[in-house]
Amino acid sequence: MADHHDALIYSMVLASAADDDMTDAELRTIGEMVSYLPIFKDFDRARLPEVARHCAELLADTKGLDKALATIKQILSTKLRETAYALACDVVASDGEASQEELRLLELMRHRLNINRLHASAIEYGARIRHAKS
């Protein structure tokens, strides 16, 4: 059974896979966040490839995106849904450009996870400035 770690990782994998191009920057960002964020302190990092693979397998289904978003929503508290959205925004911002597919995914996440629009704007702005390049 998936837990909150899995759901948070799903949100990052969804963001990375949204445009069918999982870049090195996005994958590195996922690995780094799992390594240093307090929410993952009790997560077995050796499970990261397994959880990411499970999410990818779920996405291969015709209703995979809907199932993945439903899983994330079911598992996470309201507070952690905002965390999931923030992680997804960081992954999207990590390679310096957001594709239309990635922006659409963030919009879907925002609606399906019931993220307050004002909170979402602040989260998006923070991700953009954290990943800004000179």
pLDDT tens readout for residues 61-82: 899 999 999 999 999 999 999 9
The whole-number pLDDT of residue 20 equals 84
User: What is the overall mean pLDDT for the chain?
Assistant: 93
- Output 119-127 pairs: Cβ under 8 A, ≥24 positions apart: 119/82, 120/85, 123/82, 123/85, 123/86, 123/89, 124/89, 126/86, 126/89, 127/86, 127/89, 127/90, 127/92, 127/93
The whole-number pLDDT of residue 32 equals 95
Q: Are 90 and 100 in contact (CB under 8 A)?
A: no
Could you confirm whether domain 4-130 is CATH 3.30.420.40? no
Structural domain boundaries in the chain: 4-130
Q: What is the pLDDT of residues 47-57, one digit of tens each?
A: 999 999 999 89
| Residue 91, pLDDT above cutoff 90 | yes
The whole-number pLDDT of residue 25 equals 84
Cβ-count burial of 133 within 10 angstroms (0-12 exposed, 13-18 middle, 19+ buried)?
exposed
